[in-house]
Amino acid sequence: MSTSIIGASVTRIDGPRKVGGSARYAVDYALDNLAYGVPLGSTVGNARIAHIDTSVAERMPGVLAILHHGNTEPLFRPAEQLEHSRAGEARPPFEDDRVYYYGQYVALVVANTREQAQDAAFKVKVDYDSSKPAVVMSDVPAPPGPPRIHYQRGNAASAFEAAPVRIDETYVIPVETHNPMEMHATIAHWNGDKLTLYASTQGVVNYQNTVSEMLGVPVDRIQVLSPFCGSGFGGKLFPWPQSLLAAVGARRVGRPVAVQLPRSLMFTTVGHRPLTQQRMRIGATQEGKLLSIQHDVLQPTSMVDVYVEGCTGVTTMLYNCDNVEATQQLVNLNIGTPTPMRGPGIVPGLFPLESAMDELAIRLNLDPLELRLRNYAEQDPSYNPPRPFSSKRLRECYQTGAEKWGWSKRTPAVGSMRQGNEILGWGVATATWHAGRGSATVRVRLNADGTARASCATQDIGTGTYTIFAQVVSDKTGIPVSRIDVVLGDSSLPNGPTSGGSTVTATVLPAVAQATDDAIGRVIQAALSTPGSPFYQEGGQQNGSAPPQLAMTNGRIHQAGQSPDSGVPFQQILAAGKYAALEGEARTAPDPKEAHTFSAHSFGAQFIEVTWDPGIARLRVSRGLTVIDAGRIINEKTGRNQILGAAVMGIGMAMFEETIYDPRNAKPLNNNFADYLVSTNADIPDLDCVFVQYPDLHLNEYGARGIGEIGLAGVAPALTMAVYHATGVRVRKLPVRIENLLNGQEQKVA
Ligand code: MOS
């Protein structure tokens, strides 16, 4: 592998299309005769629909159809546990007259224009027989039966009882709602018995499979297109009910139908990070050696599906500790189904773990980095026997970060670091995310005009996937990225992975590389066998001499070991054989032996500085540094972009984000961008990120692990630790609110 373009800072190849406006997102496909569907969400959280009156709405201008459970065939439920097959919610829309959560779709109005559909939707009258919804966990009895997750090693309960130092605190992360720029949208277009879906999705293949199952239409008659996606953060991993409504609506009216959710419905019917209430008990020696960890999580899911936010996994693997017990239990609420949100499980699981570690460090009067080093796990202790990591450089992350930050200048006493009228607070936390890899098939074509094309049914959700495809093809062939066309976001292409779990890079790189090698091999074959090629040998093998070994460098085919200048541009070979293109294809999959020998995770250290002005009660984040060990970084520019973007999201998680429900009807009250706050420019200080790069060759030959999620992982605990350092107030229930700091009280939850 050459050192050239892999690892360089390569500008996104799709950037000009995005900036110039020619990149088309789902609802940008202005199909002929397009009609618009507006879903109507329930205005109660727990009810039976007594009656739907559409008589007024039906007579309104432009209205084509109004679909609801009374006039629509029930769909199939998605099969569970199938690879590549998952709907956002197990219950199909319009299944019956039951309403299980506020915002559940009770009707779809289809009209000539969006405005007409919306106008008519306001006039659909729904009468409900309502019951009191369960909105908060205290509304429902403690769940019976064994916990959903139960992990145990050693005897944590007795080790805790005997421990000389004990921390026992409960932490709460509220519901957070994914708010990508582009809202969920689908255009459904039937052409005979074939269905084309233009969708905003993180997984065209899963979307195709799931819609196929739920509509009862064979997979090969469904094509899902998502060449551009205005991000998803996990919310678009699966097709949610509006995707199916678009297809059913289009079938009903015999025209293509576009359904785009308004921002308000982004809060009810397309998932969210569930609230988690997490009790963390840690026992330790006076020297800071961990003796026990107990982590107990309570989490709501919906009435219509089971979603487990696996918060405890990180607790079992991050630190050396002989006695660990972790449980997670679910309760059912009348709120829509939760779903993965950037860093699912680990991000909310790290908040209590890293917060409790900080509380322990303070109790022991120990530097928080030193406490972590004293419990550093050289092997993954969650396995029995412990498993070696494929590659772990967390120690170096701590050290590099501390040096770059100036951590040695820290004075630990609360309020002891001042800057003018303001008090500085510093915090640090560990970040981690598991490194996964799946299978992928990629096709690479070398064209007679000297360009190349790579294609795969994966998608670029804003992360830079287009660009790394081009980098690998360029690295192998020497064709500049500007002459490489990458085609993604189309389910009819060779099977590719869902953009989820930070796995796409590690998954597709080997397939792109092998497919490119395969295509090069075909050109070399042609070079040897085509009359007119400078490498053509008349009679081939028959004249007894071995064929020359050929290679491709800088776009030229030449004798191996000789200068590329001695050869010819590859397009000359194609021209000689009158080939329009030569194509290679490869399917690659992880080596199961590696997967069972090593534990593969990325790691990082995240530092946050806040400034607290007690005179005017102003808290600002003033500095942030993330040091990441994610193996080899393929594109420094888009890689930094991922980490810094995640850190911005982490500031939002710590300072602003919380979906608030009306206890009477489970309505999300702040279902808009005025009331649901996310970080904006004014909240974002100088953020930096550094990669310590050690290729993880157990995962793939490029040594790359994923980086989409890890940058979020440690921000919230580092930030609340910084808040404690500045103010003396430990915030255990996110987000940090000024009122917590004004009263100066320790925040006790549960
Ligand atoms: Mo990520 S939550 O797997 O999109």
Contact status, residue 90 vs residue 101, Cβ threshold 8 Å: no
Q: How much distance in Å is there from the Cα of 731 to the middle of ligand 1?
A: 27
Among the listed residues 483, 438, 479, 472, the one whose alpha carbon sits nearest the alpha carbon of residue 458: 438
Find out whether 670 and 660 touch, Cβ atoms under 8 Å. Answer: yes
Q: Is the CB of 504 under 6 A from ligand 1?
A: no
- For 386, residues 6+ apart whose C-beta sits below 8 A from its C-beta are 377, 379, 380
DSSP 8-state class, residue 9: -
271 lines ligand 1 (CB under 6 A): no
- Which two three-digit tokens encode residue 467? 């660009």
Task: Reduce the DSSP state of residue 556 to 3 states and report it.
Answer: strand
Task: Tell me the C-alpha distance between 436 and 442, whole Å.
Answer: 18
CA–CA separation, 611 vs 655, rounded Å? 13
Shortest CA distance to 174 belongs to which of 646, 656, 674, 746?
656
341 close to ligand 1 (CB < 6 Angstrom): yes
Amino acid at 176: E
Ligand 1 centroid distance, CA of 452 (Å): 30
Query: What's the per-residue H, E or C state across 230-299?
Result: CCCCCCCCCCCHHHHHHHHHHHHHCCCEEEECCHHHHHCCCCCECCEEEEEEEEECCCCCEEEEEEEEEE
Pocket test for ligand 1, best of 177, 237, 307, 503 (most atoms within 8 A of CB): 237
- 497 CA distance to ligand 1 centroid (A)? 12
For position 428, what pLDDT does the model report?
98
> What is the position in ligand 1's atom list of the atom closest to the CA of 202?
4
Q: Which of 169, 176, 658, 709 is catalytic?
A: 709
- CA distance to 225, 485, 507, 522, 562, per residue, from 1 (Å): 33, 22, 18, 20, 17
How far, in Å, is the centroid of ligand 1 from the Cα of 416? 40
Separation of 498 CA from ligand 1 center, angstroms?
Answer: 9
Neighbour order of strands in the sheet with 568-569: 550-553, 556-559, 568-569
Distance 490 CA to ligand 1 centre (A): 20
Q: Please confirm, yes or no, whether 83 is among the known catalytic residues.
A: no
Cβ of 180 less than 6 Å from ligand 1: no
What is the phi/psi pair of residue 22, to 5°?
Answer: -90, -10
Atom of ligand 1 nearest to the CA of 237: 4
CA separation (Å) from 612 to 558, 563, 657, 724?
Answer: 65, 63, 20, 10
Question: By the 8 A CB rule, do 529 and 576 touch?
Answer: no
Rg (CA), the chain: 28
The whole-angstrom separation of Cα 643 and Cα 606 is 11
Cα dist. 362→107, 720, 725 in Å?
A: 55, 14, 10
Report whether residue 7 contacts ligand 1, using a CB cutoff of 6 Å.
no
pLDDT means per 10 residues in the chain (750 residues)?
80 96 96 98 98 98 98 88 70 96 98 98 98 93 88 98 98 97 97 98 96 96 98 96 97 98 96 98 98 97 94 98 97 96 98 98 98 98 97 98 98 96 97 96 98 98 97 97 98 97 97 98 97 85 73 96 96 97 97 88 98 93 98 97 98 98 95 96 95 95 95 98 96 94 68
pLDDT value for 141: 83
What does 605-637 look like in DSSP terms, one character per residue?
EEEEEEEEETTTTEEEEEEEEEEEE-B--S-HH
- With a 6 Å cutoff on the Cβ, whether 500 touches ligand 1 is yes
Residue 620 corresponds to which tokens in the numbers above? Answer: 């600002």
d(Cα 445, Cα 484) in Å, to the nearest integer?
Answer: 10
Residue that the structure tokens 């250290």 belong to: 605
Residue of 268, 259, 261 whose CA lies nearest to 65: 259
Q: What pLDDT does 4 receive?
A: 77
Query: Residue 244 is which amino acid?
Result: L
Question: What is the tally of helices (H) and strands (E) in the chain?
Answer: 18, 29
Q: What is the model's pLDDT at position 81?
A: 54
Q: Which is the closest atom of ligand 1 to the Cα of 235?
A: 4
Contact 584 CB / ligand 1 (< 6 Å) = no
Identity (one letter) of the amino acid at 671?
N
Name which of 241, 221, 205 is nearest 78 in CA terms: 241
Hey, what amino acid is at 564? P
Q: Relative to the CA of 339, which ligand 1 atom is closest?
A: 2
pLDDT recorded at residue 2: 46
Tell me which residue has tokens 């460098």.
553
Mutate to test the pocket of ligand 1, among 709, 710, 712 (most ligand atoms within 8 A of CB): 709
Phi, psi of 238 (to 5 degrees): -125, 155
Burial class for 78, CB neighbours closer than 10 Å (0-12, 13-18, 19+)? buried
Measured in Å, residue 344 CA sits from the centre of ligand 1 at 7
> Which atom belonging to ligand 1 lies closest to the Cα atom of 341?
2
The pLDDT value given to residue 437: 94
Whether the link from the prior residue into 262 is cis, omega within 30° of 0, is no
**What three-state secondary structure class fits 18?**
helix
CA 571 to chain CA mean position, Å? 40
Q: 187 CB contacts (<8 Å, ≥6 apart)?
A: 26, 27, 29, 31, 34, 197, 198, 199, 246, 256, 257, 258, 259
In this structure, which amino acid lies at residue 392?
A: K
Beta-carbon contacts of residue 183 (< 8 Å; ≥ 6 apart): 200, 230, 260, 261, 262, 263, 266
pTM, two decimal places? 0.96
- Structure-block tokens of residue 16: 């000009």
